[in-house]
Amino acid sequence: MGRRIVLLGPPGAGKGTQARRLARRLDVPHIATGDLLRAAVREQTELGRRAQAHMDRGELVPHDLVVAIIRAQLEKVDGKRGFVLDGFPRNKRQAHALGEITDIDGAILIDIPREEVIRRLSARRICANCGRTYNLISDPPQSDEICDACGSRLKQRSDDKPQVVAKRYDLQYNVEVKPLVDSYRERGLLVVVDGDGDIETVTRRILDALGEGGRTA
């Protein structure tokens, strides 16, 4: 059985960035509800059409939709191999639903100050074709606004507009995620990692917290 880890944190904390690196190092699948939902929006599936308005407003997508996505993904990748879940669960109701599908070994909260959230998200760009994420300050593409992986044009995420970021932070993170953080802490599952620092430094902190510090990058 591989490690079963949940990554928590405010928008822009680096959950996606760190989840990809962690999954590679632990050799487990990375499952990100935000990525899955954005892919559905790009492909204009029924799920994508139902999710889009909620995402554009910075609100949670309805419970049943995200639980169905997670259940399907965990079946597809065989959850027994372990996983890094990024962006799910996002409240206690979702955590309860996850608990009916699988146990987890731990939850990592990547903690960064609100000002850093605003700074990072205003510089984030995403590939309109393959969904790869960049940052014009900390992780820029080789050529201006073009994806290194597929050559498509980069764009700003529609929910990275300042007023939507504020809503994601104040309503999603403060109201929905924080009580979940408290619940994982009470259950002895939570580790808090300082997310302020360069990407490699934060990865090291996470690996150390998981007792995987000996692994090479």
Q: Which residues bind ligand AP5 (CB under 6 A)?
A: 9, 11-17, 33-34, 37, 54-55, 58-61, 66, 87-88, 90, 94, 120, 124, 133, 135, 138-139, 159, 168, 197-199, 202
CB of 3 to ligand AP5, least distance (A): 19
Active site residue 205: no
Cα distances from 13 to residues 61, 119, 129, 216, in angstroms, run 20, 11, 23, 23
User: Kind of pairing, strands 83-86 and 30-32?
Assistant: parallel
Burial of 123 from C-beta contacts in 10 A (0-12 / 13-18 / 19+): middle
Active site residue 120: no
Greatest C-alpha distance within the chain: 47
CB of 162 to ligand AP5, least distance (A): 13
Active site residue 119: no
Per the structure block, which two tokens stand in for 149? 């992986």
Q: Name the residue nearer to ligand AP5 (CB basis): 37 or 207.
A: 37
Which candidate in 4, 90, 120, 205 is catalytic? 90
Q: 10 Å Cβ neighbour count for 198?
A: 10
CB of 116 to ligand AP5, least distance (A): 8
Which residue's beta carbon is nearest to the bound ligand AP5? 34
Residues tagged active-site: 15, 90, 124, 157, 168
